[in-house]
Structure 1
Amino acid sequence: AKTGLDAPLLKRLDVEGSKFDGMLSKVDDVIAIADPVGQVSLATELDDGLTLERIACPIGVIAIIFESRPEAAVQISALALKSANAVILKGGKEAINTNAALVAAIQAGLGSLKGDAPPPRSVQLVATREEVSTLLGMHHKIDLIVPRGSNALVAHIMANTRIPVMGHADGICAVYLDAAADETKAIAVAVDSKCDYPVACNAAESLLVHEALLSSTWPAVATALLDKGVDLRCDPRSAKALPAGLAFARASQLSAACEADFRTEFGDLILAVKTVASVQEAVAHINSHSSHHTDCIVTEEAAAAAHFSSYIDSAGVYLNASTRFADGQRYGFGAEVGVSTNRIHSRGPMGVEGLLIYKYVLRGSGHIAADYSAGRRSFTHKRLSLTPEARSRWAEPKLLLALCAAAA
């Protein structure tokens, strides 16, 4: 390209046409979600007149650092406002003007609202590395950082801040074709996982093929992928199993895989292919090479599906479905801040609920702990049923707006 940027990056930066319409559609989806802040998720009677409730509340101020994808600024802002959080955005330098225009539009919209509306400063944008360095040191003011991008970006953020980090790193997703895979499903899932949107973090980057399929299903899957323009980097066994005529005709799309290929997010029509002897070997390979984002098995055997879903250590584990479903909107979350591969708080696509924590509210009437320590009173620990009215007891709109304003 004339800009010097590669094709996958240019595609990420584009917000015209259908991508712009999709960006607005995701905002509508977030608007349609029931207000989550202040919802009661647990109510327990500890004793007569002593009641404990667990209440959803915002995290506070969240800094989101993302590379390219300027539409992320709009999605993240919508989710932050819906969850009563304030947000500080830092996008990639390649989209600095687009990000500035989008955030200015959001701030103008907030400024036009009347009454107890979130202030425009609830959504802010920083642009320079110096500003990011300053943010990383603001552990007394910023409550969470979510870096969206490469492993290098996430590692840098984690190494240079005391603020909690919710990692969203590379999307190295795998599709495993089990010995009991249905050929039609194998072709559909493999092709969609790789080709639907190759630059996405939920696109497949590696394909594992059970050795029992090398002479049957694998050639058909390979042909379908090659027909879609995919370059296949094959291990020796999968390469040898391809029909000679196909290998000759598509020689320009075929090459030998190396170990590094199975740890690479290509972001393009490139797929690394490996042969395995069992579902156990597939699981071991995926767990040691993937980014723990989303991985899929295609199989008709319940035992293989159960083993895969139980032992794959990823945020998303799919059975006979494309990895491209790993998305907040497709999960019904409206949109997503990112896909967390962490093992605490939130994992997988982070929608509104991923931006909430909770607090415990205890209501008493002069109760004191000494009475229970001395045996004068005893706990009942009776779980209380939650009616719709009880669940939303604390979900007052003015409260939510006040929380967002305070965070800003």
Structure 2
Amino acid sequence: MTSAPIAPPSPLVTLAQQTRRQARQLATLPTDAKNLALEAIAQALEAAASSILAANEADCQAAKELGLASALYARLKLDDSKLKAAIAGVRDVAKLADPIGAVQIHRELDQGLELKRITCPLGVLGVIFEARPDAVMQISSLAIKSGNGVILKGGQEAVRSCEAIVKAIHAGLAQTEVAPAVVQLLTTRQETLELLKLDQYVDLIIPRGSNAFVRFVQQNTQIPVLGHAEGICHLYVDKAADIEQAISLTIDAKTQYPAACNAIETLLVHQAIASEFLLNAVGPLQQRNVELRGDDRTRDILNIAAATEADWVTEYSDLILAIKIVDSLEQAIDHINTYGSRHTEAIVTADSATAAAFLAQVDAAGVYHNCSTRFADGFRYGFGAEVGISTQKMPPRGPVGLEGLVTYKYQLVGAGHIAATYSGPAAKPFTHRDL
């Protein structure tokens, strides 16, 4: 009896196998080789700028015709300044210290028996994102610098832009020691579902998108997932806040880029300062087309729409701001810890003790004092770029740069040492001496 023929692997499995093989080679390259590859990518992106922008314009035009949500459209749009900033980010990653090969522990267990804990790449990343073509450049540069392969899956609305960018990345890598196959791009929804099943070849999934999208990924894969499901961020204006400073921070945190996950969605105001602050803030906010919604106490001061329970749990990603008046710092913290998404939270106050209590008690990846939540970003933190923001408790947390893309291994070198020597009645003691 003859056995049934073994079906050949699917094209995506073959692609993942190739990415994994090339990632193993990348992991062994010296820092200089990786940095030269990043510079080659930057130059290739600059050379292809007109093609990339034309592809993005085509994506944007198609998105308009399909009625893409304004927040997604803002993320999709890639103008000349945004492209130049992303290319600068590639070069910034090249300037960062190499995270691979760092010796975290070097310890003698006994004479001639030495232990090292050394950082190493994760392997292959699967990154799924909506709308943002600039993420391709950020993620690819971080993956290469950290010695990881990456399989990218952008949203359908950005497919032309992503293809143009990856084409340029491959052209740059072709001139270096880094194989172009370490950066792969998927383009269909079916490939997303198949990617989530590749636990044999993909070591980490990083989803970037809506709450529903991230939760879908988390529920449909056995691969570890790093990401945040939503960005419900708050700004608390304390009774000891400087009014002018609080207004400036509110405007920046809400309007500087409302589609960002680190923009505030809810404004909490201490009742002792509420009337003065709100009456001064309403004009500047409405001049910037911010739609205000408030609880009953806020509406006693301002003629605005009513906020409902749904507003406290909504990531608008738009020029909409919910306002609530609270009686105390404790009430503000309780509201944030109840409705926040553990992303980024901020307080405005001149009282250092109040600020310290807020920073200690608020449960979030980022807790800020007297500054805008918009600083929650890998580039602004000096990470060069980021692959995403993690709101989970376990590390990495917050903006994830190079340090979040490495793991470590224990290397033990001896000279014929056996475990039996260190057990039983005549057990030899370990020296456990740090070297």
TM-score (norm 2): 0.82
CA shift at 1:3, angstroms? 4.4
- The aligned counterpart of 1:345 is 395
Q: Distance in 1 between matches of 2:69 and 2:129?
A: 18
Cα offsets for 1:79-137 (capped at 9, x unmatched):
00110100000111111111111111111211122xxx221110001111211111111
How big is each residue's C-alpha offset from its partner over 1:117-176, in whole Å with a ceiling of 9 and x where there is no partner?
221110001111211111111111111101111121111111111111112322111111
User: How big is the shift at 1:9?
Assistant: 2.2
Structure 2 counterpart of 1:20, from 65, 79, 83: 83
Alignment partner, residue 283 of structure 1? 333
Given that 1:51 and 1:364 are in contact with CA atoms closer than 8 Å, whether structure 2 keeps it comes out as yes
Match of 1:182 among 220, 232, 242: 242
SS of 2:272's equivalent in the other structure is helix
1:139 corresponds in structure 2 to 199
Match for residue 30 of structure 1?
93
Q: Which residue of 2 aligns with 1:378?
A: 429
Q: In structure 2, what is the equivalent of residue 123 of structure 1? A: 183
Amino acid at match of 1:86: G
Alignment-mate amino acid for residue 350 of structure 2 = E
Partners in 2 of 1:165 and 1:81 — Cα distance? Answer: 20
Query: How much has 1:376 moved relative to structure 2?
Result: 3.4
- Does the 8 Å contact 1:146/1:168 carry over to 2? no
Q: Which residue of 1 aligns with 2:259?
A: 199
Q: Which residue of 2 aligns with 1:395?
A: none
Give the counterpart letter for 1:151 in structure 2.
N
Aligned to 1:48: 111
Which residue is 1:92 aligned to? 155
* Mapped pair 1:295 → 2:358: no
- SS for the counterpart of 1:215 is helix
Question: C-alpha displacement at 1:2, in angstroms?
Answer: 4.2
Corresponding residue SS for 2:260: coil
Contact 2:215–2:229 (8 Å) recurs in 1: no
The answer to whether 1:110 aligns with 2:173 is yes
Mark the runs of 5 or more structure 2 residues left unpaired by the alignment: 1-63
Partner of 1:268: 318
Distance change >3 Å, CA 7–CA 159, structure 1 → 2: closer
Contact 1:58 1:356 in 2 (8 A): yes
| Equivalent residues of 1:62, 1:146 under 8 A apart | yes
**CA distance in structure 1 between the partners assigned to 2:76 and 2:305 by the alignment:** 30
Per the TM alignment, residue 311 of structure 1 is displaced from its structure 2 partner at its CA by 1.6
Match of 2:224 among 157, 164, 172: 164
Task: State the 1:265 CA deviation.
Answer: 1.2
1:217 aligns with 2:277: yes
- Encode CA deviations 1:348-400: one digit per residue, 9 max, x unaligned: 0010111111111122222222222235322232333xxxxxxxxxxxxxxxx
Q: 1:82 aligns with which of 145, 149, 167?
A: 145
Q: Find 1:317's aligned residue among 344, 363, 367.
A: 367
Q: What RMSD in Å do the two structures reach over aligned CA positions?
A: 1.5
2:355 is paired with a residue whose SS is helix
Aligned-partner Cα distance in 2 for 1:168–1:137: 20
Partner amino acid, structure 2, of 1:160: N
Aligned equivalents of 2:414 and 2:329: distance in 1?
55
Read off the aligned partner of 1:241 and give its amino acid letter: I
- Taking the aligned partners of 1:379 and 1:143, their CA distance within structure 2 comes to 35
Counterpart of 2:115, as a letter, is L
Q: Which amino acid aligns with 1:30?
A: V
C-alpha distance in 2 between matches for 1:68 and 1:290 = 24
Once residues 360 and 413 of structure 2 are traced to their aligned partners in structure 1, the CA distance between those partners, rounded to angstroms, is 41
Offset, 1:345: 3.0
Q: Counterparts of 1:48 and 1:304 in 2: how far apart (Å)?
A: 53
Q: Is 1:363 matched with 2:423?
A: no
Distance 1:370 1:9, change over 3 A: same
Q: 2 CA distance for matches of 1:312 and 1:280?
A: 10
Runs (4 or more) in structure 1 with deviation over 6 Å come to none
Tell me which of 58, 71, 95 is aligned to 1:8: 71
For structure 1, list consecutive stretches of 5 or more residues without a partner in the other structure: 248-253, 385-408
Identical aligned residues as a percent:
51
Secondary structure of the residue aligned to 1:139 is: coil
